[in-house]
Structures are given as C-alpha cells and as structure tokens.
Structure 1
Amino acid sequence: MPDLNPLSAVNRFGLGAGPGELARARPDPRGYVAAQLASPAPPVVTENVPADTAAGLFLLTERRRILNERNEFVKRGEADPGTPFVRPGDVMARELALLLSTAVDTRAPLIERLALHWSDHFTTAGGFVGFMTGSMEREAIRPHMLGRFRDMLVAATLHPAMLFYLDNRNSVGPDSRLGRSSRGRRGLNENLGREVLELHTLGVDGGYTQDDVLALAKILTGWSIDLDEPPKRPERVGFFPERHEPGPKTLLGKTYAQEGPDQAIAALTDLARHPSTARHVTRRLVRHFVGEGLPGLEARMAEVFRRTDGDLGAVTRALVSDGEAWGPPRKVRPPIELLLASSRLLGGLPRQPDPGRALKAMGQPFWEAPAPKGWPAGNEAWAAPDAIKTRLDWASELASRLPPGTDARGLLDTAFGPYASAETRRTIERAADGRQAIALLLLSPEFQRR
C-alpha cells in the first residue's frame, strides 16, 4: 500500500491542521487518527450555555413566562418594563463560540467530526429547539458515538429536542385516555415515526410502508414534553401514559405487545439491528467523511455494523483503517467545517466577520438545517459559483481583521507542510500583501477540499 498522506489524517478525519499537528501525524497517519478513538475525549466545557435538558427547558419556559407577563402589561395599557429574556439565537451564538474554541484546543479532532456527523444524522433545527440542541448533542450523541447505535437511536429519538422538533409532543393516540377525552381535537402526528424510518434507521429505500409509519407513530405516542407552567408533574420530559395509544402494534411484520414505554424501546432496538439500517447508516457515514461513489467501502462498513451489532466504535475504526478511505480529496468543506478549520489554524477567529452571520451568508446557518434530513452530503450545494464568491468575500474580510504581521508563510507550513502544491505556494508568495496571502491560503484547493 502506498504511503498515506498526513493531510488526509488532519483534514479528512479531523478539523484541519493546528500548530505541530502535521508533524505528529506524519510518521503514522493512520495510527495518529486511530489513537484518537482509544480513549474518550474530555467533556466539552459548557460555561455560559445550557448544559443539559433541564437548563434548556427552563430557558424555554422562562421565556414563555416573561412573554406572558409582557402581554399582561399591554392588556392593562401599561408600559412594557422591558424584562430581558434569552433568545434561542443567543444560546446558539454561545454554542457556536464554544464549538470554535473547542476546535482550537482539542487533541481529538476526529471526535469533534463524529459529533458533527451524528448531530446532522439526528438533525434538530430552528426556533425554540435551539434551547435544547446543545444538550441533545451532549446527552444523546456524544456519549454513544463509539458505542452501540441502538443506544444513540433511543437517546436521540426520545430526547426533548427531537420530541419538540418533530412534533411528538403534539402526538396523541386516538384511543388513549387523552385522545378519547379530547373528542377528536387531539390526534396522531406521523412526523417522528416517518423520519425515524426514512432518515435515522432504514432509509428511504429500506422497505417500509405507510402502515409502518403509522404503527411507529402510535408506538411513540406518550413520549412527550410538558411545557405548561407550572408543570403537571415534576418531570417535564418522559413517558405520559395518558397520551399513549394502547394495545399491540405491528411494525415491519413484527407485533409489539409490550405495555407503556417498553414498546418504543423494543421497536427502536429492532430498527437499530435491521439490515437496511446497517446499510443506510454506514452509507451516510462514508459519504460524510470520504464521499460518494464508493460502493465497496460502503458495503464493508455495513458488514462491520451488522457483525458487531451496531458497534459504532468498531465501524469508525474500520473506516479509518480501510485503504480506500485514504484516497485523494473528494469533498468540498461545508461552511461549518471551513470555519472550524480556520479557527484551528489561526488559534481562534476574530469577532468580525461574525461567525454566525458568515455561516448564514454561506448557506449553512448554524443549527438551522432546512429539513430533518440535515445538510447536503454532496459538493453541489457548496461549490456553486455564488457559494464560492461568498467564501472569497468572507476570507478577504477575515484576513483584514487579523493582527498586522500575521505570517502567511508560517500558516501555509502549519496547514500543509511539504504537501502544499507548487501552484499554491507560488500564488501565496506572489500575493500583494500579507492579508491577501492569508485570504488566498484560506481559498486554496488544499484548504477548501478534504
């Protein structure tokens, strides 16, 4: 097998090179990547962000309380006292800042890439969900990225961010106690059941029917969130028996007769072990890290998934050990990865251009994927002429905000070392000034592609 390129170690399986990283990866690129899977990464520091579900739900209900108070002032014709309250965008901005600083400091960038991938696989996005998306990543995604897919599937499906995003909090079994007492005003919502089958497990070609969607939606009834103030019970999140459709349900030809919350756990466990899930989940993993058009690699990863009962650690180790995964660059970095790589290279990003606005301008607003399927895996969305123009504008402004005298040639050696192309070196050396050289570095093929 030919020598492996350390750039693949730091770019394809990482966040881009930070100071000294290429030197650490050069003797054994595959071993450098694999070593990051050997021991758990330290927990992400969550200062100034909602660290858990309780904090996220508190912010959501507190916001509702303050809005209700403001409405009361309006009704009484009194001046609004302007009581401050946190907005989802405020939380998301702090979460983005945390992500960018983690990119600088982490010694296990592969772990951060896995968090990006699995959070996108189980997308939650937009509006009030922003209060809880960070806690979902920390509670449902990160603890299971190297464990069993079954555990991640259960944790993500039943997390309040997902229950809120896909409307399961509004899903009530027609024959449940609440369904019968509502006289038809409350009913079944199929969103969560459909997306679990189509996106999270079997895939659109996984062999399920509309009857299976309905069956899973009924199985998942009862799992909900109580956003009332005060809450009806101490636990705001969990299984609410009065909402659950009673009786056995048949999903993919198997009947689930379990009572209460055990029914959903049993069904999700079987979905995690389905052969179509092995194919769909590993196909998405390969396309995130390596690219499309690799059926052999996809098939090998699916076989590892099946053989190990969905052991994601084993699948990830197999991926980074497979020679086909180390080919030439195939993917354009999406905007979030471009910002993370830049932050890692530069030791952090300046306040301007604002990272959140930059991501929005580039077409990937932070935690606001346009649909439950997450962000596009192919290059088309990120390589269109207008997208490239936006990246150019961002790189130029970023370079203009860096301290005078920032060494573009030093950054070039940090990012690519001896693996930079002659054309890239020549282009940077011919730049009109240091800031233009840095912008050209950030726009170089080696930096834009992985």
Structure 2
Amino acid sequence: MTPSALALNRFGLGARPDDAPPADPQRWLLSQLEAYEPLPAAWKPLRRTPALVDVWNTMQRSVRQAPEGQRSGIREAYLREGRTDYVAAVGARTASALQTATPFVERLVHFWSNHFAVSVDKPLIIGVAGSMEADAIRPHVLGRFEDLLLAAVRHPAMLLFLDQAQSIGPRSPMGARSEERQQRARGLNENLAREIMELHTLGVRSGYTQEDVTEFARALTGWTLPGDAGAATGATFRFVPALHEPGARTVLGRVYAEGGEEQAKAVIRDLVAAPATAQHIARKLARHFVADEPPAALVQKLADTFTRTGGDLPSVYRELIASPLAWQPASAKFKSPWDWTISSLRALGRSTVPPARAAALMTQLGQPVWRPGSPAGYNDLAATWAAPDALMRRVEVAQGLVQEAGAGIDARSLAPRVLPGALSEATASAIARAESSGTALALLLVSPEFLRR
C-alpha cells in the first residue's frame, strides 16, 4: 500500500471517489490538526449536555413526586425521548464522518470516545451518551490528556454509567445524616475510581491495589451531576461538599490532604503523569493505527513524547505520523464494523445517511454506537471482528448499500480511486468478471484490501 493510500485509509476514514491522493501524506495529516472543527454542522442542531441534564433532572424530580403507580410511565417516557436523542446523535456522528475535511482527527474522536466508553446498555444514559462525544471528547481531542480525561469522567453520561452520581462518603455530612435517620445509605461506589485507573490511565496490572481504588473513590465523593439550575448556567458537573468523605487520602503511596473537589483532581494529575499511563496510552494508539501487536519501539517513542510534553496529545499524534514504523505498507489492521461501514459509505460517495438507518446498520454489524456493554469499550483486535458470521453480515450489508447507491457506479474505475496503490490483481480481476455492476461493487467493499487499512 502506498503512503497516499495509508494516509487515506489507515490514518483517515477511507477514500472518497473524488479524493485526490495527497501528494505529501504526512503534511496532509498534520494540516488537519489546524483545520479541525470541534462541533461540525451535523452536531449543531442537537441538544447539548446542559439541556439533556435538565431533562434528566426533571424526570427524576417527577418520579420522586409521583404516586408509585405512575413512576414507571414517567421513566418510559424519558427513555422514549432519550432514544430520539440517541438516534439523532448517531446520525450526527455518521454525517460528520462522511463529510469531514479532517478524517484523521475524526478518527481520533472515535478512538477517544471508545477509550472513555459509556454504554447505553444502561438505559437511563441513552439520552446523554451522544452528548458526551460532542461536549467532552470533541472539544479536547487536540488538547492535553488531563483535560480530556477530566471532561470525560465528569460528563453526566460517565457519572451515571459508572454510578458516581450515587456515591456518598460514609462519614460525609450526608452519610452521617442518613445513618442518624436510619435510612438506607447509598454508600461509597468505586466504579469510577477503578475504571479511571484500570482503563483510562494506568492500565491493568500496573501496580495499584484495591486499597488504592477505595481511597481514590473516597476522594471522588461529591463529584456528581449539576442540580436543577444547571441548564440555566450551562453547567454539566457539580461538586457537592456534603457528599464528600472528609480526611486525607493515600493513593499509590502518596498522601493527598483534604481539599474538597481538588483532592481527586490532584490524584488524577498524578495518575496522568505516571509512566504506566504514558505506556498505556501509547500502546493503545499504536495498536489502533498500526497493528494489533504494535512495534515496541513505536510504543516507547509515543510514551516518551507523552511524558516529555505532559500529555500534550497533538505532540503524540505528530510523533505517530513522523515514525516510519507507522507507515509500513502491509495492511495490518482489520477494520471494525464502524470503520468498515464509514469507509464503505465514503467510497460510495454518500454524505448523509438517515439516522435510524445508521443506527440499525451498526446494530446489524455487531457494533452499535455507544453500546459496547462494558466500560472497556469495543475491542481493537482483528480476532474480535473477523469471524465468519461477522463477515457474512458485511456481505449482506454491502449488498444493501450497493442497492441504495443505485446504478451508475463503475466498480472497475472506482476501485483504484478508493484503494490507490493497494488494489491487487486478484481483486481487480474478480471485479472485472462480476456478473453485474452491483455485484462488482459489493465485491469491492468486501475485498481483502478494503476490509483492512
């Protein structure tokens, strides 16, 4: 595969029929760091996080005030409204990927959204899942990792998904009051603390203990959703001192003095600076862009840059682009269903897809948007997506996409434009021998070269 093809397909989201292969692939990728639009047109009509949290708060208040027999109906109405917001956000995400002039950065948005995964398998977050990508991931994808991390873990979708909004310090004023009244206390919840350490920063088997998780969870108490005034002020996060566990905390051998909201932020700052975090982030980026087993030298180079710059993400991206190890001609990465769907639609010249159709496609292919089922997100390895039944679903979807595209697309002329320098003689021959133009086009979309990037 030529460097131009790699820029379009490995680093980008797939070539479009009218895309000219970049004469200077590295410069083309670097230029996108300056041209990226954090909130593109497709996202602008959607409700933003403060408005969605207001809907959540209204639902919660209505449930508390309603008679027992009416509460399920209120929740069901909220879920229906949330489903509408979810589908609209899937449509916006898809349209952005199809229309973007900065596909490398758009791919980074998808990467970080999966790194900080939430899942609408937990139905009550369905309305705010898309707004997390719009308001927490997109604005910070070209900033500092610490800022991206804070925006993601303090977004209402994450606070609800990992039950942080339910966490209360046992010795906090609110916890003590509940005990005095002999009420069932909500208690300390460790989910967010554990996932920040295990998934977002240090990584598994990096030396932290269960006591570190518990202590960090105590520091995080008080981090919750904004109150009823949030929509008016534009707030998406609130610290409630009455929920916060008092006292100093010891995490990974370091003592953090009582400091309210700043206590947990100080822990996070040190987690970001830890060598294990640099290695974890570097390995995930290299695995996503280069190979399931990325070159150790590339991982170390990215980790060193992360550490040297204090987690400046554009510096890490520039190091990735500059490394010859990221430009090996073999297409080592098997496309996930999302990657493959977006690259197929781009190859067919599509710029929009009805939102409900986009959501249904991803469900059919086994990678529904913002629904990985686990805080770990979707796996980035070929073994997850290359099973025979999954490939058969791609064949079925390819046939459907070709039918939607209609007549007039010549696969023989399209193939070298969307796979510049990568089209094999075997695939070109199969396309030429196809019994119909539609079959030829479907063969292109499920060819070995198109399935990889």
Compute the TM-score of the two structures, normalised by the length of structure 1: 0.90
Supply the distance in 1 between the matched residues of 2:423 and 2:32 (Cα, whole angstroms): 25
1:228-281 Cα offsets, whole Å, 9 max, x none, are 7999x9967310111000111011111111421111111111111111100011
Instruction: Report the counterpart of residue 389 of structure 2 in structure 1.
Output: 386
User: Matched residues in 2 for 1:364 and 1:36: separation?
Assistant: 27
Letter in 1 for 2:305: V
From the superposition, tell whether residues 175 and 66 of structure 1 become closer, same or farther in structure 2 (CA, over 3 Å): closer
Pair 1:139 & 2:139 matched: no
**Residue in 2 that maps onto 1:341:** 343
2:425 maps to which of 401, 422, 426: 422
Select which of 49, 53, 56 maps to 2:52.
56
User: Contact 2:33 / 2:105 at 8 angstroms: preserved in 1?
Assistant: yes
Equivalent residue number for residue 248 of structure 1: 248
Report the equivalent of 2:220: 220
Where does residue 441 of structure 2 map in the other structure?
438
Q: Percent identity of the aligned residues?
A: 38
1:403 counterpart residue number = 406
Distance 1:277 1:158 in 2: 19
- Matched with 1:33 is 29
The count of corresponding residues between Structure 1 and Structure 2 is 440
- The answer to whether structure 1 residue 257 and structure 2 residue 257 are counterparts is yes
Is contact 1:103-1:343 (8 Å) kept? no
Provide the C-alpha distance between the structure 1 equivalents of 2:245 and 2:62, rounded to a whole number of angstroms: 35
Q: What is the TM-score with the length of structure 2 in the denominator?
A: 0.90
1:11 aligns with 2:9: yes
Give the 5 Å matches for 1:6-405: 6-21=4-19, 23-25=20-22, 27-41=23-37, 43-45=39-41, 46-50=43-47, 52-62=48-58, 86-126=80-120, 127-183=123-179, 185-225=185-225, 237-293=237-293, 294-327=295-328, 328-348=330-350, 351=354, 354-405=357-408
The residue type paired with residue 317 of structure 2 is T
- CA shift digits 1:73-92 (9 cap, x unpaired): 976xxx99x98984333222
Q: Deviations over 1:5-25 (max 9, x none)?
A: 21110111000001332x241
The amino acid that maps onto 1:391 is: R
Larger relative contact order (C-alpha < 8 A, sep ≥ 6)? 2
Looking at structure 1, the residues matched to 194 and 77 of structure 2 have their Cα atoms a distance apart, in angstroms, of: 40
- CA RMSD after TM alignment: 2.8
Q: SS at 1:250's partner residue?
A: strand
For 2:226 and 2:143, the matched residues in 1 are separated by: 30
Supply the AA of the counterpart residue of 1:20.
D
Unaligned runs of 5+ in 1: none
> Which residue type is aligned with residue 16 of structure 2?
G
How far 1:423 moved relative to its partner? 1.1
Deviation at 1:187, TM superposition (A): 0.7
User: Is residue 61–residue 229 contact of structure 1 (8 Å, CA) maintained in 2?
Assistant: no
Q: CA deviation at 1:210?
A: 0.5
Q: Compare 82-91 and 34-43 and name the one that shifted more.
A: 82-91
**1:63 shift after superposition:** 5.1
Q: Gaps spanning 5+ residues in structure 2: where?
A: none
Deviation at 1:412, TM superposition (A): 1.6
Give, in angstroms, the shift of residue 37 of structure 1. 1.8
